Amino acid sequence: MGRLQFLPFLLVSFLLLIETNAQQEFLDCIYSHSSDINIKKHIHFPKSPTYSSLIEFGQKNPRWLNSSSAQPIFIIAPKNESEIQPIILCSQKFGLQIRVKSGGHDYEGLSFRSVTETQFVIIDLFKLDEINIDENNQTAWIQTGVTMGQLYYEIAKKSENLAFPGGLYPTVGSGGLISGGGIGTLMRKFGLSADNVLDARVMDINGKILDRESMGENMFWAIRGGGGSSFCVVLAWKIQLVHVPSKLTAFTVRRKLQGETINSLQKWQNVSHKLSQDLFMRVLIQNMGIGSKKIVQVSFQGLFLGRVSELIPLLNQTFPEFGLVQKDCFQDPVVNCTELPCINKECFEVPWINTILYFASKRTNDSIEFLVNRTVPETKNYQKATSDFVKSPLPKEVWRMIRTMFQDEERPMIILDPLGGRMDEISEFEIPFPHRKGNLFNIQYMVNWGDNSESISSKKINWLRELYEKMGQFLSNPSRSAYLNYRDLDFGTNDGEYRYSNSRVWGGKYFSGNFEGLAKVKSKVDPGNFFRFEQSIPPFSVNSRER
């Protein structure tokens, strides 16, 4: 090897040596600040066999597994809350950023990757999964590594009359779901998950553990719906459990997107938010198919806090075209598809915990052990999503546009979640989630795919962007709003490049008039903007500047 050829080799080796030494100094800092001699066992390095499995396990949307996004220099999976303090203190000392992950249902992957940072550390909270239920007071303390499925499972073991108004999917982490709001089937009766938080335990910028009293009401307000990881590391929530009947009714009515179904959708828009608080009825629109034959199917899927005998007359008053009768209930339908939809209606009267299975696309008589299963599915599902809140009913033309676009796409989905009820009774300023009275329903747009090649991914993402753009012409609120837990980095881009300085764009969509309040809280609790990531809350003083 010639001298000139040898120089680049020496330079690379020297840089790697510097990087290795810096990483070792960072680790030495963690060890020196930790009182737990076992902390080394919970730190996972890029070359260790556990590292890649943790990365893969944590990505429920694995779109970035092989992308150019920066990978963490370490993954730290603490078993005790005290292990997090050294990570916060040493990351600040060495100029490293942290990402905090509880479940991994993160639409833009911001809890386990970085678009703008080259070096960061993941704090994976999945081992912090203690649940302590006080059945007498109907409350519970849950660590933020607890999944919603684990929580539902433990509640059901205590009582069939206790529940929690959380999300629909069991593998979603409680840390992210609650700190972003928490939409679910019980929200029209009891409000969001975040509306039912009584206290919290967090670790602040100084590594101190605070509760509601010591953190103060402003910070407590911010972490319930404003995204907790912008301000601190949320360690645990104290939540209010709610009382539900011994038997609830879950049902689905399926129709093709045509003719009378469009009339039903128009009716749904006008009345779904006005129905009894005991009735939550959402709409799913998706492509279905048998062989090469495909149709666009509409599913009216509901949960009623009561018996079938009470639900039937209630539905018949507003949606007699559903034709739901008592004999449709109490049995799993026999699937014998000769035409679509395969099963046009079904209904089950079961305890609350079995409705959780139903909305997770399981059979109501399946084992509830499914709810605590954390294994990684073998089949990968890649996706892109975004959202809107709707303040006025959409015109009929929107459904025809959706049908046309869906017929050209393989695995699209739209979910419409009705608001109203208890959601109308809570002030838009009570917590940072502002989408209260005056909002009829939320729209989640999603496209899924199985081949994550760059050409396929780009095609799918562009398709969703086109759908979102076309929907804008039908909405009465031109500024449009969005749900934080359906985070979309498209809201912060200029010419395809992400800009943190566009925070007022996405901040207004997610938080409306509450964004400034969040920025002011940030200025007080984290003025140096350590807890930051793409679309984190900036300090009030740097709202208009680049990070």
Catalytic residues: 486
Q: Are 101 and 112 in contact (CB under 8 A)?
A: yes
Distance from C-alpha of 449 to C-alpha of 458, rounded to nearest angstrom: 11
Instruction: Work out whether strand 279-290 and strand 293-304 pair parallel, antiparallel, or are unpaired.
Output: antiparallel
Distance from C-alpha of 500 to C-alpha of 277, rounded to nearest angstrom: 39
The DSSP secondary-structure symbol of 126 reads T
496 C-beta neighbours (distance < 10 Å), count = 6
- Which has the closest alpha carbon to 484: 464, 512, 516, 460? 512
Distance from C-alpha of 247 to C-alpha of 237, rounded to nearest angstrom: 28
Burial of residue 542 (CB within 10 Å: 0-12, 13-18, 19+) is: middle
Q: How many helices (H) and strands (E) does the chain have?
A: 16, 20
Residue type at position 480:
R
The DSSP secondary-structure symbol of 18 reads H
According to DSSP, the residues that pair with 390 across neighbouring strands are 441
Would you report the helix, strand and coil content of the chain in percent, each value rounded to 5? 40, 20, 40
What is the gyration radius of the CA atoms in the chain, in angstroms?
A: 24
- Which has the closest alpha carbon to 519: 485, 481, 545? 545
The residue with tokens 């962007």 is: 465
Q: Give the three-state DSSP class for 298.
A: strand
Distance from C-alpha of 482 to C-alpha of 444, rounded to nearest angstrom: 9
